[in-house]
Structure 1
Amino acid sequence: MGGDIVTLCLAGDVMLGRGVDQILPHPGEPSLPEAYVTDARTYVELAEAANGTIPRPAAFSWPWGEALAALDAAAPDARILNLETSVTQSDDIAPGKSVHYRMHPANLPCLAAARPDVCSLANNHVLDYGRRGLAETLDSLAAAGLRAAGAGRDLDEARRPVVVSLPGHRRVLVFSLGMASSGIPHTWAATADRSGIDFSDEASHAAAAEVVGRIRRVKRPGDLVVVSIHWGSNWGYAVPRDQIRFAHALVDGGADAVHGHSSHHPRPVEVYRGHPVLYGCGDLIDDYEGIGGNEQYRDDLRLLYFVSLEPDTGRLDHARLVPLQAHQMRLRHAARKDAEWLHGVLARTSRTFGTHITLDPEGTLMVHPPQPGAPGRTQRDPITS
């Protein structure tokens, strides 16, 4: 841990199923219950048609590419990502869904290559292959020494935060929850006697109060709390008012960072009362390369978020956003012109929140805490039902 500052890596959606699973050393059953693509290897072929041949089998580290060196260079105190893939060989296909993600458990070394401290599981793909698939996912992650938040064999387990110990008896507590707005079926909610995820039907006052209550019961002096939320639509930069109010309520109640995800591209960043709110981190790893549509969002461009917090207050010292690009199902550093494009979009869409984002000479986006008296939503913004 560098100095007294605590640095967290908050990564977006890591989708290691489907096409990504097929290039790894132990590809699972490729058949898919999709309307248009019935073989996961088709997604590999689309990527190769766009950008060239992908090695098969690829090394477990292949999908991460140059992101691994970026992670090591930043040396974050905790690495937190949204694992949007079931880890199973189950064939219990979830009904009523158009897209299903699973990776073979033997390919978990790919996930382990990034050395995540916490995998958020409260999302709209972790039960794509049923509760039997969820059980295997939980068991597989545990056997690999990977800790998961947001899903469990019952509601208590799904709501239990993962605790990351830091030097000096400090801790990072990570809560994970998913909302219906991201496409999570209501039936996936965990209950006292049923496995599932920590699910909220909407970003309501009552839902925020429940999470705040849990934070206050477990947070100790010196702790930092991250709430990881899967919410919202896949495309677009607008942030619904209820999500803003929900995030503010969490910070007012003791959360130090809000880690939002679900959109396939980065969404605005806010610094509310000194605390970072990432409304959508975008995809980090997926198999969308070569798929047409929504090109205006440049979903080939990805960001790694390194958020540095003051240890005693949890307030933002600074944040570094490292631009990457998916190419041949592998992450590489984005070119300068692409980093400039990302900066222009994120700076413009975050400006309404009073957030100031700059681009440094190395092509890294820098998020700066607002100066005293700067405009933006810095006052209490209570939720209304």
Structure 2
Amino acid sequence: MPAGHGGALTVFLCGDVMTGRGIDQVFPHPCPPHLHEPYVLDARDYIALAEEVNGPIPRPVGPSYIWGDALAELERRAPDARLINLETSITTREEWWPDKGIHYRMNPAHVACLTAARIGCCALANNHVLDWGYEGLRETLATLRGVGIATAGAGALLEQARAPAVLDVPGKGRVVVFSFGTMSSGIPPEWAAGTDRPGVELLADLTPATARLIGARVRSIKRTGDLVIASIHWGGNWGYQVPLSQREFAWTLIDEAGVDVVHGHSSHHPRGIEVHQDRLILHGCGDFLNDYEGIRGYEDYRGDLTLMYFVTLEPTSGRLLSLRMTPMQVRRFQACRASSADAGWLQGVLDREGRHFGTRVTLEGDGSLALHWSGGGPPTD
């Protein structure tokens, strides 16, 4: 069902957008390239690794470069709201977080790479937003605020980190975004926002009690017709297994907390998709943009392949009407339309993994993927 049909509302979602480190270096005003990693000490080395695999990357690139073919797809699908998990600090600060192996940052001068795709909201409760310390976080928040991009999941104090982003969709209602992180994704416990310190909204656990506390916050802001998204950074980077604790937490968010979509991320590749009570659960969206080209290991998971998720909902009920996914491939730090063979590979993986959750995925004539589930969409068999 296309956006706007019968009053339906469509949200664009994707996984991790990591515009720091190597990607920052191909923009016109890169941060100093020095890194504090165990093995790589210069961010430009990630450019060299990518070029060894896929050929030369032009430099400097314009702000829209990284989105590549995704811009035309966004224009074609015309989603009503656009939400990403931004997994980098936007700062020129030099005080990196000690005892942490990887540090992502992008020069604030490059924030136009987000406005180029008209991103409306960035979820920030993740394991890289404080890589450059509290001052780096403050600059990140100020930079995004300065270009009109809403944020959720991080703030100067706990109250701000917990506050949802509210996106108005004229004529259709509001999309309310809560952002949460878990230590299972690599977020240091010291990053938890407090009443006297900046940080992220870090969940202590995934118990029903925690979900119900979130429910109280949802009820305090949710109006009739609002759609609520819980964007959660959780779990490991590789593998298709979804812990039962995560599934049960997502169910409770839907059943008792009033959440309409669970937007899960942290995995470097897409994971199986679930629908519970006609509500969408994305257990792991996969990375969308990163500088990982040329890094060896885990090739079987095809981390270069990713998805644009177009989630169409009924605003009056929050019920999932359709999910269409556009397969993409990262090449030369750019989102490119995936080949038909790669789209078929993704379809096979998502269909295989979705069977554990009662969903099926088909490859459509336009090269997109469609989700089918019991009680919704076309028959699965």
Shorter-chain TM-score: which interval?
Answer: over 0.9
Q: Find the aligned partners of 1:368 and 1:337 in 2 and give their Cα distance.
A: 21
SS in 1 for 2:15: strand
- 1:187 deviates by 0.6
Match of 1:233 among 212, 236, 257: 236
Q: Find the aligned partners of 1:187 and 1:164 in 2 and give their Cα distance.
A: 30
Match of 2:128 among 118, 125, 131: 125
- For each residue in 1:132-183, what CA deviation from the matched residue of structure 2 results, as whole angstroms up to 9, or x when unmatched? 1101111111112211111001111111111111223611100001000000
Aligned-residue sequence identity (percent) comes to 53
CA contact (8 A) 1:66 1:332 kept: yes
SS in 2 for 1:234: coil
- 1:302 deviates by 0.8
Match of 2:348 in 1: 344
Unaligned residue ranges in structure 2 (runs of 5+): none
Match of 2:162 in 1: 159
CA contact (8 A) 1:356 1:370 kept: no
Match of 1:258 in 2: 262
- For each residue in 1:79-126, what CA deviation from the matched residue of structure 2 results, as whole angstroms up to 9, or x when unmatched? 000000000011111122111100011011111111111100000000
Match of 1:62 in 2: 65
Please say if 1:280 is aligned against 2:284: yes
Unaligned residue ranges in structure 1 (runs of 5+): 377-385
Match of 1:50 in 2: 53
- For each residue in 1:30-88, what CA deviation from the matched residue of structure 2 results, as whole angstroms up to 9, or x when unmatched? 00000100000000000011111000001111111001111111100100000000000
Tell me the amino acid that sits aligned with residue 318 of structure 1: S
Please say if 1:357 is aligned against 2:361: yes
Structure 1 pair 184/375, CA: closer, same or farther in 2 (3 Å)? Answer: farther
Tell me the amino acid that sits aligned with residue 219 of structure 2: R
Please say if 1:305 is aligned against 2:309: yes
Tell me the amino acid that sits aligned with residue 72 of structure 1: E
CA contact (8 A) 2:272 2:284 kept: yes
Tell me the amino acid that sits aligned with residue 39 of structure 1: D
- 1:375 deviates by 12
Q: Point out 4+ residue stretches in structure 1 off by more than 4 angstroms.
A: none
Q: How many residues align?
A: 375
Q: Find the aligned partners of 1:222 and 1:335 in 2 and give their Cα distance.
A: 39
- 1:192 deviates by 1.2
- For each residue in 1:236-291, what CA deviation from the matched residue of structure 2 results, as whole angstroms up to 9, or x when unmatched? 00000110011001111210100000000001100100000000111000000111
Match of 2:203 in 1: 200
Give me the TM-score of the superposition, normalised by structure 1.
0.95
Match of 1:294 among 298, 303, 319: 298
Note the 1:1-385 alignment, pairs <5 A: 2-3=4-5, 4-168=7-171, 170-252=173-255, 253-371=257-375
SS in 1 for 2:307: strand
Q: Find the aligned partners of 1:156 and 1:86 in 2 and give their Cα distance.
A: 20
Q: Find the aligned partners of 1:26 and 1:369 in 2 and give their Cα distance.
A: 47
Match of 1:379 in 2: none
CA contact (8 A) 1:265 1:298 kept: yes
CA contact (8 A) 1:282 1:303 kept: yes
The answer to which of 37-46 and 142-151 deviates more is 142-151
Q: Find the aligned partners of 1:44 and 1:22 in 2 and give their Cα distance.
A: 8
CA contact (8 A) 1:317 1:368 kept: no
